[in-house]
Amino acid sequence: MRFCFDTKQFTDQAINPDKLAVVGENGEITWTEFESRVTDFCTFFKSKGWDQLKFPVILYGHKQVEMIVAVYALMQLEVPYIPADVIYPKDRVESIKQISKTNLIINCSDEELDFQDVSILSFRNNAFELSQEAPVILAEEKPTDPLVYLIFTSGSTGEPKGVQISTQAVRDFTQWMREDFGFKPHDVFINIAVLSFDLSVYELMSFGAIGATLLLNSKTVSENPDLLMDRVQKYNGTIWVSTPSFSFIYSRIDEVSRLDSIRYFLFCGELLPHSLAKVLVEKFPKAIVYNTYGPTEATVATTMIEIDAAILDKHPILPVGRSKPRSRILIDQDEIVIVGKNVSLGYLNRPDLNVEKFITIEGERGFKTGDQGYLEDEVLFFKGRNDDQVKLHGFRIELNEITSVLNDLDFVLQAETIPLKRNGEVKKIVSLIQLKTGVDESKDWKAEILEGLNSKLPYYMIPSDFKFIDKMPLNQNGKADKKMLEQFYLAKS
């Protein structure tokens, strides 16, 4: 059984109906149960007249089975949803509610929510309870390309931006997943990212399109390597999806057998360090390592490449791949521009920003990413964000290049390089480094680091200082938390 994104219905019901569809933090359901619960949800919504809602609903929770049931039911109903994880501060949820004009919050958590002027539907253990009721506004008609979801990303003004992803974009994405990655119905997608981070859409949509299994892992499990590896082993997880930062610790484990079921490592969201990819290729010879690239505004990812020994030998800085079918990558003054069906319809209620970032090229939607890159033989290489490039003493410096050299040092587990600013001007750059377990702490590692950097980088790119840390802090999206790193450094004395 699987979910057809063209018809927005379940299909092939006779094929493996009793196979696990979703494993959540609060239980597991088969594909037959999944279809049944989605149907029950749709029936309840229609009985309330909510299948014609004008504004998106907020879907609040963590890694419960009900979160996935609600997503697929809302797709059937053509009611767009906004995922809001329980780790979000309530003020941020309130801000999202105001921007989106939401009339309804679906609460899949055990928390009691207190938001004004909105209906709150508790959906837990496949039961519905309307704990708070307020007027809802209905749409007069459905758009021709209805939204599926909106993901709110950080905005430069401090207000989150709602990225609108349409049915056409999701269909295009799931078609790519089904046709080009080699995934099969017996696969088990290992979800690590929270559902409010667009990286999770890889697993969330792909498992349904393929008829596979989705293994949700709570924040508690994801932050504990032993718990996560036990869970992967128990359910024979085959497709690992994460940011590179999250995976560093697992690339160093000696108990490879605990992750022996993995057939694919799929990375997105950050630059994939050469050293990490090399270790994974060597330690997991039966697995394929995919490097991908794409912003939230282009429906998760737009490029893909398999990283193998030949690619590792050829490229010290790894490519992020060729464009997916039905999309194009253009380079405009070093900026990556994405054109195709996967491009967002724009930011919600932000016409000013839409004019700046979204364009039309030959009748197709385009998005100016703000990322830097270049093409070689139609293969894209990612150079970092515009804001990852800093100017110091008159020199333009790519912070990712420094970090990449540090991560290639044999004794370094993980490193990040950050700028320190005063009055908006970069005064110096520093690197924070986590050494591998078991190294000789009495050794002068700073001298070793300087020797390694001086052999690869010009003098003006050498950081002013280094600080050793016990563990690399990650933000809620599994990326290195650069704000926390700055606090670590400034508190060093």
Write the pLDDT tens digit of every residue in 61-89. Answer: 999 999 999 999 999 999 999 999 998 88
Same domain membership, residue 172 and residue 160: no
Same domain membership, residue 323 and residue 194: yes
- Which of 32, 343, 62 is closest to 191 using CA atoms? 62
- Which of 380, 382, 383, 404 is closest to 461 using CA atoms? 404
Q: Is 51 exposed, middle or buried (0-12, 13-18, 19+ CB in 10 A)?
A: middle
3-state secondary structure 250-271: HHCCCCHHHHCCCCEEEECCCC
Contacts of 254 (CB under 8 A, 6+ apart): none
Count of positions (residues) in the chain? 493
- Mean pLDDT, the chain, integer: 92
CATH label of the domain that carries residue 317: 3.40.50.12780
Q: Is 219 inside any structural domain?
A: yes
Q: What is this structure's pTM?
A: 0.85
- Which of 399, 412, 438 is closest to 279 using CA atoms? 412
Q: Is 9 inside any structural domain?
A: no
Q: Is 233 exposed, middle or buried (0-12, 13-18, 19+ CB in 10 A)?
A: middle
- Which of 46, 57, 159, 54 is closest to 118 using CA atoms? 57
Same domain membership, residue 359 and residue 328: yes
Same domain membership, residue 248 and residue 140: no
CATH label of the domain that carries residue 65: 3.40.50.980
Q: What pLDDT score was predicted for residue 155?
A: 55
Q: Is 279 inside any structural domain?
A: yes
Q: What pLDDT score was predicted for residue 384?
A: 75
357 vs 334: CA distance, rounded Å: 15
Total domains in the chain come to 3
Q: Is 438 inside any structural domain?
A: yes
84 vs 107: CA distance, rounded Å: 10
User: Beta-carbon neighbour count of residue 292 at 10 Å?
Assistant: 22
- Which of 477, 459, 391 is closest to 153 using CA atoms? 477
CATH label of the domain that carries residue 412: 3.30.300.30
Q: How confident is the model at residue 157 (pLDDT cuts 50, 70, 90)?
A: very low
Domain range spanning residue 313?
168-385
Q: What pLDDT score was predicted for residue 112?
A: 93
Q: What does the pLDDT look like over 209-268, one tens digit per residue?
A: 999 999 999 999 998 999 999 999 999 999 999 988 888 888 877 777 889 999 999 999
Q: In sequence order, what E strands does 53-206 have?
A: 57-61, 81-85, 104-107, 119-124, 127-132, 147-153, 161-166, 188-191
Same domain membership, residue 160 and residue 175: no
| HSE-up (13 A, CA, CB side) for residue 222 | 26
Same domain membership, residue 187 and residue 155: no
Same domain membership, residue 186 and residue 333: yes
Q: What does the pLDDT look like over 104-115, one tens digit per residue?
A: 999 999 999 999
Same domain membership, residue 259 and residue 148: no
